[in-house]
Amino acid sequence: MTQAAHADGHRRIDLTKIGEGRFKATNARGGVLPVGSGDDPDFTPVELLLAAIAGCSSIDVDLITGKRAGATSFDVVSEATKIRDDQGNRLVDLRLTFEVRFPEGEDGDRAREALPRSIAQSRDRLCIVGRTVQVGAPIEYVEA
C-alpha cells in the first residue's frame, strides 16, 4: 500500500484468533504478526506497544540522521513499568534509550550533531505512536 492509499489518514489492522490466547494481526499490505498472552514466544500487546513506540521514533531518527551519514549501529531500548492503581492497569515511566553510532569523519560528525535534535523532533512532533500515547486519544469500543 502506498502513501497515497493512506491519504485520508485512516489506518487499520484485522485481528483473528488462531489459538488459546493467540491472535494474528494482519495489515492492509498482507503483513502478519502473531500476538500472544505471554505464555508463548509471541509478542504481548504491551510489548507491541513498546515496540511500536521504539520503531516509530527509530524510523524518524534514522531518516533524519541518515541524510548526513548512515548509522554504523542503531539500538533502542523501549521500557516501562506496569502498574495497577485506581485508574486500572497501565504503563508508567515510559522511556526510550537510543544508542546510535556513526562513522568517523565529517558526515558522521554532522549525524552525531543532529542526533539529539532528531530524537526531540520525534518525541515532540513526528512519531504518531509516541505522540498519541503522550497526548492521549479516546478509544471507542463497539460491538459489530
Which residues partner with 142 through β-bridges?
none
Residue keyed to cell 494474528: 24
| 141 in a structural domain | no
- 130 within a domain of the structure (yes/no): yes
Same domain, 52 and 104: yes
Task: Looking at the structure, tell me whether residues 36 and 57 fall in a common domain.
Answer: no
- pLDDT for 2 beyond 70: no
81 and 18 in one domain? no
Residue 109 and residue 127 in one domain: yes
Question: Mean pLDDT of all residues in the chain?
Answer: 95
Residue 83 has pLDDT above 50, yes or no: yes
Same domain, yes or no: 6 and 23 = yes
Tell whether 68 and 127 lie within a shared domain.
yes
In degrees, to the nearest 5, what angle opens at C-alpha 123 toward C-alphas 47 and 10?
70
For residue 140, is it within any domain?
no
Residue 143 lies in a domain: no
Name the residue range of residue 128's domain.
44-135
Number of domains composing the chain: 2
The verdict on residue 142 lying in a domain is: no
Q: What are residue 83's phi and psi, to 5 degrees?
A: -130, 165
Stated as kind and residue range, the H or E segment containing 120 is helix 106-121
Same domain, 31 and 91: no
Q: What is the pTM of this model?
A: 0.92
52 and 20 share one domain: no
**Over the stretch 19-78, which tens digit does the pLDDT of each residue have?**
999 999 999 999 999 999 999 999 999 999 999 999 999 999 999 999 999 999 999 999
76 and 106 share one domain = yes
Is residue 110 domain-shared with residue 92, that is, in the same domain?
yes
3-state secondary structure of 5: helix
